[in-house]
Structure 1
Amino acid sequence: MKTQAALMLGAGQDWTVTEIDLDAPRAGEVLVEFTHAGLCFSDEHLRHGSLGALPAVGGHEGAGIIRELGEGVTGLKVGDHVAASFIPACGHCDWCVTGHSNLCDSAANSPGSVDKDSFRFSYDGDRIPANCGLGTFARYSVVSANAVIRVNPEIPLEAVAVASCGVLTGWGAAVHAAEVAVGDTVIVIGAGGVGVNAVQGARFAGAKEVILVDMNPAKLGIARQFGATAEFRTTEEALTYARQVNPRAQGADKVIVCTGNTTEAVVTAAYETLGKRGTLVLAGMSQDVLDRNVNLPGTQIIFREQTIRGTIFGSCNPRHDIPVVLDLYAQGRIKLDELVTKQYSLEEINAGFDDLRAGKNLRGVVKHA
């Protein structure tokens, strides 16, 4: 079949929207009509050529409807509403069975895969990969049944789309990775789609203070509706405030870095706000995913008994946590609608990424026609 899709043909280029070929689902796969796709900085990293082979179909955050099942697929049916999971959970590798499905070995299903037989998209006569094995920037995509999660059909699919990556990454960075506790003072650096959900997660976990840092004043202007108790444009200002409200630790108990391009300067500034026995969580990637961006005083970390850790997908188990977050949304206990600043057609995808880079949106969403 044919489908419209946004492709990244070469590093540093704009997205190309064109019609490409799509194979039918094979055993263990499903055909999904993606209705919505989130615009996330991870696809910006793909554009820079640091997430695998190009050309590739973009998009790893999204929601849609199952249209066809491959042989042997169970637990799903045609018509099901689903969230995309950019890390497919096989359910039987060691990571999955020990409760860490965000580290599932199936995550090898990525744009950098060399197994072209696993690719279902074709462009200009050649098979091409989809970002994270999903390709939500295509209206139709064939994906592993392990890479979609059935959700309540009463929940709007645009809310499901943002929950599938950015929300879970930020929420889980606070709840699971940082393990925010009642009474904690938390600093979140970066007020994009991941950062504001780290704020929501920290507030939900019982933090006393949730301090948001972002240089963009427009982002700070809306942060309080997601649970921020204070907002600053610099980490120095945030540290001064954290020391006032948390004199015991002389800094933050938890610091969560959610920047779109996490440089060494960002990591160093974030660490300097961390108090005694504090935890620094890196949830935002560097533009070059192999960049050595952590250069910290190890002996000071020893003296202060501090923890530095990374998190992928917010250390969530997506098959469990996506429904949980969507249930909280349905109960009015967390905000998802307010995250979607603007919707774009697929043809407007380059304008959407321009707005993302300019810091105009919490989350832009492509709505497939």
Structure 2
Amino acid sequence: MKAAVLTEFDGRPEIADVTVGDILPQEVRIRTAATGVCHSDRHGQTGGIPSMPIPAILGHEAAGEVLEVGSQVTSVRPGDHVVVAPAASCGLCEWCSKGHPQHCADQGRVRAPGLGDRLTLDGSGVGQFVGVGSFAEEMMVQVTAVARIPKEMPLDKAALLGCAVITGLGAVRHSAQVRFGDTVAVIGCGGVGLSAVQGAALAGASRIIGIDRMASKLEIAKQFGATDMVDASTTDPVQAVLELTGGVDHCIEVVGIPATIEQAFGMLRTRGTATVVGLPHPGDTLSLPASAMLQEKRLQGSRLGGTQLRVDAPLYAEMYLSGRLDLDPLMGSTVSLADVGDALEQIDSSTSARTIVTF
């Protein structure tokens, strides 16, 4: 199969012929139909995850059709349409047993030693970014990274459910637990942030403030239910939010750099919560006022939106099909596999929510 393979950090993925190995009992082989280009892929490309094996295939939010299943797989079968996400879990460890599979101790992203490689290039193993590696014509993944969806669901829209939607909407539902009437600010209105905006609207937030440096993304935030927009390229976002609300109950931070995390905390009212969804770099540190603890303000993280993949992805697909969840404005440009390198390089300046690779 053809795949975009990254051979060095800060390098450009190049198209290569990759061989797919024999399937194991708990694995699924999938023909990729569509996959989003996410900032997390860029994070991995630029060395933000030093432990990532090289060479590797990036890409982690995808949708496609099941081609083959392992002998022990019963949840999907060939011909099914599925969402693929970096949400594999063992179902047995302490965290899975507590209902937090995003912290699973044995996610099965790579095969155990001695079981061979799922993918090889010129006879040597090729890594899959967070166990997925969707910048490829096919994926071989652990079955728990897969959720079956209705065949009526368009697969280019379904790909967004693999990360952007489950992470942003999930951060609102599961991590922050926004309640009816709460006030919410969202820093960063890309695919994940816009999904958080829509999640806040679905939760019944009384005021939703979208914050970004690009006017085009703020306009999309308005479509998703933002009541106020703050252009951070011209305005101090903390001051703007405090003037609008006196402080918000929740701030969802989707950028992942110290400055915006500190801003998120600074926007809170008494007993407010800042939920960090963005992916910081190793070694990043924060400077926060300790006196704010007396106001019972909280700073917390959110990993993949606390998602239960095989519950949430089908739910969101059904909501889209019934007109209760809007995914269309998230769709930006559509590119081919050969254009993945350009899409990664342009991601920080992209004016659309999500670039989608289609096959």
User: TM range, normalised to the smaller chain?
Assistant: over 0.9
Q: SS of 2:160's equivalent?
A: helix
Contact 2:181/2:206 (<8 A) preserved: yes
Counterparts of 2:257 and 2:276 in 1: how far apart (Å)? 11
Find the counterpart in structure 2 of residue 81 from structure 1: 81
| Selected match of 1:359 from 334, 344, 350 | 350
User: Which stretch has the larger CA shift, 26-35 or 4-13?
Assistant: 26-35
Find the counterpart in structure 2 of residue 8 from structure 1: 6
Contact 1:119/1:130 (<8 A) preserved: no
1:258-307 CA distance string (max 9 Å, x none): 11xx2211211221111110000000112x2x23233212x323211011
Q: TM-score, normalised by structure 2?
A: 0.94
Aligned residue-pair number: 356
Matches within 5 A, 1:201-350: 201-234=199-232, 238-244=237-243, 246=245, 250-259=246-255, 262-286=256-280, 288=281, 290-297=282-289, 299-350=290-341
Offset at 1:243?
Answer: 3.8
User: Which stretch has the larger CA shift, 65-74 or 199-208?
Assistant: 65-74
Find the counterpart in structure 1 of residue 65 from structure 2: 65
Contact 2:90/2:107 (<8 A) preserved: no
User: Which stretch has the larger CA shift, 122-131 or 87-96?
Assistant: 87-96
Offset at 1:244?
Answer: 4.8
Offset at 1:238?
Answer: 4.5
User: Which stretch has the larger CA shift, 356-365 or 78-87?
Assistant: 356-365
Counterparts of 2:217 and 2:308 in 1: how far apart (Å)? 29
Offset at 1:327?
Answer: 1.5
Contact 2:237/2:263 (<8 A) preserved: no
- Judging changes above 3 Å, is the alpha-carbon distance between structure 1 residues 356 and 115 closer, same or farther for their aligned structure 2 residues? farther
- Judging changes above 3 Å, is the alpha-carbon distance between structure 1 residues 285 and 86 closer, same or farther for their aligned structure 2 residues? same
- Judging changes above 3 Å, is the alpha-carbon distance between structure 1 residues 353 and 102 closer, same or farther for their aligned structure 2 residues? same
Offset at 1:134?
Answer: 1.3
Q: SS of 2:134's equivalent?
A: coil
Match for 2:259: what amino acid? A
Residue 45 in 1 paired to residue 36 in 2?
no
- Judging changes above 3 Å, is the alpha-carbon distance between structure 1 residues 156 and 118 closer, same or farther for their aligned structure 2 residues? farther
Counterparts of 1:109 and 1:73 in 2: how far apart (Å)? 16
Q: SS of 1:106's equivalent?
A: coil
Q: SS of 2:209's equivalent?
A: strand
Offset at 1:144?
Answer: 1.2
Provide the alpha-carbon RMSD of the alignment. Answer: 1.8
Match for 2:327: what amino acid? L
Match for 2:337: what amino acid? L
Offset at 1:189?
Answer: 0.1
Counterparts of 1:332 and 1:355 in 2: how far apart (Å)? 32
Offset at 1:116?
Answer: 7.5
- Judging changes above 3 Å, is the alpha-carbon distance between structure 1 residues 203 and 118 closer, same or farther for their aligned structure 2 residues? farther
- Judging changes above 3 Å, is the alpha-carbon distance between structure 1 residues 317 and 95 closer, same or farther for their aligned structure 2 residues? same
- Judging changes above 3 Å, is the alpha-carbon distance between structure 1 residues 360 and 115 closer, same or farther for their aligned structure 2 residues? farther
Counterparts of 1:201 and 1:116 in 2: how far apart (Å)? 43
Match for 2:173: what amino acid? V
